[in-house]
Amino acid sequence: MKFATRRVGKTSLELPTLGFGTAPLGGLFDAVDGAEAAQTLAEALDHGMSYVDTAPFYGFGRSERRVGDQLRGRKHQISTKVGRLLLPGPAPDPAAVGWPDALPFHPVYDYGYDGIMRSFEDSLQRLGLDQIDVLYVHDIGEMTHGTDNVRHFKALEGGGYRALEELRMSGRLKAIGLGVNETQACLDALNIGDWDVFLLAGRYTLLEQTPLDDLFPKCVERGVSFVVGGPYNSGILVGGDTWNYGAAPESVMKRVERVSAICQDHNIPMPAAALQFPLGHTAVTSVIPGLRNRCELSDTINWCRHPIPREFWQALKIEGLMHSDAPIPPALPFLATSS
């Protein structure tokens, strides 16, 4: 399958419109068999999903190790993240933070110059690769850190950003950005540096489009692109009951029911609509659902090929279920051709 590609910001890097998020392969919430993880990622690459995103935090190194073993020797684009160093010795209760099958390391936050440089080098070692295309600052923001975010953001502004810029200027990276779940962190980051791309998870979806009001216009002005993670809002848009990695509140459940009814009226799988929606915006370079196994991969491939008529999107707007200014995706937005 040949996916369309879009350029990342002002860089020369182009990514396929459908990528692969690997938090599940790191064992998010449940362990994943190593053979199944390897086969899932290998099949994704065979399908043309050559952009793979990982992070040291995912399984405390497990995701990066699994990803590197599959990417080595194959054409790919890869992003990983900085902001946490992995130190030897298991965390007290890794399952409590979502990683029941974590490797025997524990993460320590470090957004400073030395921490980011060390994290970059450590990731190369775990991946077994000599090149990383995109480096994201992971989970900076009040959603993760609360009041401690002031201290962490000062570390990023005072030295961490300089490390990223040096890596980019030296050619060791093609793009730099943030990998976060909140728009405010991106807005704050615009004040301290020249970024290429923000990986924004769960905030520009079929359920949520608030970035259209402030973040997207500012980023379009600055030439900053977006990779959209969490297109299913952590499960609620594929038939689950979780939203933002927790139990979905009643208000969200009711909104999903209304969206689902319109999907049924138009004979459209709701996950297909959720997957395709973000690509209506030209600032969105790639959509990267997190995939756990070959069954989820197969479903994703089918959903990205499901035709969705313009009338469906208009129906969502008429019912007040879609931002009035949200751009409508083109037909079959993931594919390079309609064939």
Q: Which residues are catalytic?
A: 53, 58, 81
Q: Smallest Cα–Cα separation from 227: which of 76, 50, 11, 21?
A: 21
DSSP state of 157: I
Q: Give the containing element (helix H, strand E) for 222.
A: helix 215-222
Strands (E), 174-262: 175-180, 197-201, 225-229, 242-243, 246-247
Of the candidates 3, 69, 61, the one whose C-alpha atom is nearest the C-alpha of residue 279 is 3
Residue 310: CB atoms within 10 A of its CB come to 11
Residue type, 300: T
Q: Report the alpha-carbon distance of residue 319 to residue 144 in Å, rounded.
A: 34
28, 132, 21, 19: which is closest to 80 by C-alpha? 132
